[in-house]
Amino acid sequence: MDVNLAVVGLGRVGSIHARNAFRADGINLKCLVDADLGKAEEFAKELNCRATSDFQSVLDDPEINAVLVGTPTLTHYDYVKRALLSGKDVFAEKPLGVDIDQIDECYRLAEAGGKILFLAFQRRFDPAFGELIQAARSGKLGEVQFVRSTSRDSPMPSIDYLKTSCGIFHDCLVHDLDMICQVFDEYPVEVHTHAHCFIPEIAAIDDVDTVLVSLKFASGAIGSIEVSRRSNYGYDQRLEALGSEGMYEVRNPTSDSLLRSSDGGAQASPIPYSFPQRYRVAYNDELLAFGRCVAERSPSPVTHEQSRLNFLIAEAMEESLTKRAPVRI
């Protein structure tokens, strides 16, 4: 089956997906959709496809059989629901909705219509993270006892973006949670959150910018997530898994492994500036995986149950912060 794709929303992530779709084998980029028609038209010239601000025209187009939703978070549910009801396969940025009922409805619609619903968690497609997960699951690390994920944003997202992001737990920490749970192959039974807001503009929208979450698992294993909205030295993304037989650590990639030392001190090459550079390969491979799911009618790697648990545990993290106490899942 040919994958004839429309990309809806040309913001931070949608523009990455659009360029990847233009280059991808097995995917035909047919249309770009954005509320800013001028922006869509300019982008469409570069990617040799049509542009529109009318999403309904995409739904009515029988040639287009797949839709990628990269719109602001609060609008995901509406676009995903309309696309599924129109018989399109859907790739959607997370979360699918603002509550568990919306998420469940999206999956019910996909199942009822025999459509692919592919939820984006691009870190699953990062080669280094994938190698660590495989090492943990294959037994190379022995009994995995502790996993730590660190994520620090560069540059800080705009306040306009943060206002519609559903907050730091659903926007950021859910990625770290997903990675830790992939390593352990289980989900936590308890979370405990500590957080603060150092940036007044973020405090003004009732969010936090610095978070530490501890996670307890039924197996006895422990997880730790540390996230910051602002890093002035680059996009810091690390994952460490400690087991009874060893430790694997994903470090920040650099252009070379040279440490330059002199009487002025030591200097290494800089880490990636932001997420498009850090996850360039992952974003591309994620889109190719969606294309295979559509073409082969194979299930999405992120299941309905995983989507539910990631959302509910992110909610529990936020509840723990509000209550200033651990929360059982």
Domain range summary for the chain, segments of one domain joined by +: 3-120, 126-277+309-328
Dist CA 136 CA 182 (whole Å): 9
**Which pLDDT does position 261 carry in this prediction?**
81
- In degrees and rounded to multiples of 5, residue 222 shows phi and psi of -130, 140
**Which pLDDT does position 267 carry in this prediction?**
85
**Which pLDDT does position 38 carry in this prediction?**
97
User: Considering just the CA atoms, what is the radius of gyration of the chain in Å?
Assistant: 20
Dist CA 146 CA 249 (whole Å): 12
**Residue range 175-228, pLDDT digits in tens:** 999 999 999 999 999 999 999 999 999 999 999 999 999 999 999 999 999 999
**Which pLDDT does position 256 carry in this prediction?**
82
237 contact partners, CB below 8 Å, separation of at least 6: 150, 151, 152, 250, 252, 278
**Residue range 252-287, pLDDT digits in tens:** 999 887 778 888 888 888 999 999 999 999 999 999
**Which pLDDT does position 33 carry in this prediction?**
98
- In degrees and rounded to multiples of 5, residue 215 shows phi and psi of -125, 135
**Which pLDDT does position 223 carry in this prediction?**
98
Considering the domain 126-277+309-328, what is its CATH architecture?
2-Layer Sandwich (3.30)
Determine if the pTM surpasses 0.75: yes
Ranges of the chain whose pLDDT falls below 50: none
Match domain 3-120 to its CATH number in 2.30.33.40, 3.40.50.720, 3.40.50.970, 3.20.20.70: 3.40.50.720
Start-to-end Cα distance in the chain: 41
Dist CA 107 CA 150 (whole Å): 30
Closest CA relative to residue 131, chosen from 258, 282, 245, 17: 282
What token pair was written down for 185?
């192959």
Closest CA relative to residue 118, chosen from 310, 309, 297: 297
